[in-house]
């Protein structure tokens, strides 16, 4: 870059202008060329912090990189945290940490650049509209590498990175890791029935039966968004979240106040799919509405019913995406069971800088083999999807 620049660190989103951040993150009409990703908005990221969900006390100390020009204009940014553990990340490096510490190293703390508790791909190297993004991206990637060295920490990890940002990280010496998610692609369907017609007959019949069975016990489904999201509704949904989260993770990540804050700040970007039986809600899933996608996050229930999880999380999400003309549904991390329900394999990317040369070599060797495995698995699964031959979705 020819312009004079300065990269500084902010520890809290309360110290960052919402307007400036949203301009870079695609959460402002001033940057309309970037599809809106609700998880990158100042409202979402600050709610994680202000609610006590992602703070120094929970192992997420803000180390956000802000890149300014000589006039103090914000040209680039990277949301980053100093982590004392590897929880809530969805790209697993526990094996790396164990190996390094058994060899006498200290893996934690480390730097983690991501949206906490959110396995959704989105811009990480945030840049202004109307400029060549490459110089800013490369400066931020180099700045993150330098921050890793200055802090004397083991590593820096940037997860769920868009493919077009990976070259900037690789040129800065980061290692490339891949993984797999399952997304539904809306091929311009007019209805869920139109989507079903693209499936093999046996798969189509199975999904019809599954959806009927899910609501057999007097269950009805509601879509709640905007002004529907009252505090009473959040109380009910949080009870679902705590029940399922407590059984699955041991300690749920998000606090009750987080839901109040996002309900206050971004209610029109939220869809709750709620299942009701006997006059009360018994299960629900939270989704976030982006510029071109619906993002399913987590679900919970206080009653178990056959196939209700699939109905609330996957089928209803497809219904909503088709109704609203959204291009795809991203249904969270992992889950080969999504394949039979029309969610096809998609490769995700992450970038990792390992300061210790020995550990870096070992991780690089592992990642090379892992990338081949991910590619082969994705190809196999794509060939065994539910679509009729010739109608298979390609992402």
Backbone angles phi, psi at 126, to 5 degrees: -75, 135
Question: Do the beta carbons of residue 368 and residue 199 sit within 8 Å?
Answer: no
What is the fold, at CATH topology level, of the domain defined by 187-326?
A: Aminopeptidase (3.40.630)
pLDDT of res. 303: 94
Question: Do the beta carbons of residue 286 and residue 320 sit within 8 Å?
Answer: no
Q: Do domains 5-182+346-382 and 187-326 have the same CATH topology?
A: yes
pLDDT single digits (tens) 341-364: 999 999 999 999 999 999 999 999
Q: Can you tell me the distance from the alpha carbon of 119 to that of 326, in angstroms, rounded to the nearest whole number?
A: 19
Locate 268 and state its tokens. 């029109």
Q: Can you tell me the distance from the alpha carbon of 42 to that of 21, in angstroms, rounded to the nearest whole number?
A: 6
What kind of architecture, by CATH, is found in domain 5-182+346-382?
3-Layer(aba) Sandwich (3.40)
pTM for this prediction = 0.94
pLDDT single digits (tens) 104-146: 999 999 999 999 999 999 999 999 766 789 999 999 999 999 9
Q: Helix 256-265 and helix 42-50: axis angle, to 10°?
A: 150
Q: Bridge-partner residues for 283, per DSSP?
A: 275, 301
pLDDT single digits (tens) 143-167: 999 999 999 999 999 999 999 999 9
Q: Counting Cβ atoms within 10 Å, is residue 163 exposed (0-12), middle (13-18) or buried (19+)? A: exposed
Contacts made by residues 186-192, CB under 8 angstroms, sequence distance 24+: 186/318, 186/321, 186/322, 186/325, 186/326, 186/327, 186/328, 186/329, 187/393, 189/322, 190/322, 191/322, 192/315, 192/318, 192/319, 192/322
Q: Can you tell me the distance from the alpha carbon of 350 to that of 180, in angstroms, rounded to the nearest whole number?
A: 11
Question: Do the beta carbons of residue 168 and residue 138 sit within 8 Å?
Answer: yes
Give, rounded to a whole angstrom, the gap between the first and last alpha carbons of the chain: 34
Listed by start position, the domains of the chain span: 5-182+346-382, 187-326
Q: How far is CA 348 from CA 79, 119, 375, 394, in A?
A: 19, 10, 11, 15
pLDDT single digits (tens) 289-341: 999 999 999 999 999 999 999 999 999 999 999 999 999 999 998 789 999 99
pLDDT of res. 3: 62
């Amino acid at each position: 870059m020819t312009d004079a620049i300065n990269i500084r660190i902010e520890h809290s989103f309360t110290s960052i202008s919402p307007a400036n951040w949203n301009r870079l993150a695609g959460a402002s009409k001033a940057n309309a060329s970037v599809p809106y990703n609700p998880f990158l908005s100042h409202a979402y990221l600050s709610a994680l912090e202000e609610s006590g969900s992602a703070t120094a006390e929970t192992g997420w100390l803000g180390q956000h990189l802000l890149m300014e020009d000589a006039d103090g204009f914000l040209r680039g940014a990277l949301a980053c945290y100093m982590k004392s553990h590897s929880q809530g990340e969805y790209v697993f490096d526990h094996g790396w940490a164990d190996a390094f510490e058994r060899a006498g190293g200290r893996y934690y703390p480390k730097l983690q650049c991501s949206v906490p508790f959110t396995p959704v791909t989105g811009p990480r190297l945030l840049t202004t509209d109307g400029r060549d993004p490459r110089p800013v991206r490369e400066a931020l990637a180099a700045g993150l590498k330098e921050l890793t060295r200055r802090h004397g920490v083991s590593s820096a990890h940037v997860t769920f990175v868009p493919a077009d940002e990976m070259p900037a990280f690789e040129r800065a010496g980061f290692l490339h890791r891949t993984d797999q998610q399952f997304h539904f692609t809306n091929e311009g369907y007019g209805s869920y029935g139109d989507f079903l017609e693209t499936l093999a007959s046996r798969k189509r019949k199975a999904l019809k039966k599954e959806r009927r069975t899910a609501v057999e016990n007097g269950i009805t489904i509601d879509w709640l968004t905007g002004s529907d999201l009252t505090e009473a509704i959040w109380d009910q949904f949080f009870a679902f979240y705590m029940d399922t989260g407590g059984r699955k993770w041991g300690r749920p990540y998000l606090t009750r106040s987080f839901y109040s804050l996002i309900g206050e700040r971004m209610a029109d970007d939220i869809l709750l799919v709620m299942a009701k039986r006997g006059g009360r809600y018994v299960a629900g899933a939270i989704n976030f509405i982006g510029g071109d996608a619906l993002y399913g996050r987590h679900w919970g229930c206080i009653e178990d019913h056959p196939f209700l999880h699939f109905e609330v999380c996957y089928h209803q999400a497809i219904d909503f995406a088709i109704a609203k003309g959204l291009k795809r549904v991203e249904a969270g991390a992992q889950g080969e069971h999504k394949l039979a329900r029309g969610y096809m394999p998609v490769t995700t990317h992450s970038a990792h800088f390992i300061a210790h040369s020995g550990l870096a070599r070992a991780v690089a060797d592992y990642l090379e083999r892992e990338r081949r495995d991910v590619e082969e698995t994705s190809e196999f699964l794509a060939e065994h999807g539910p679509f009729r031959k010739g109608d298979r979705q390609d992402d």
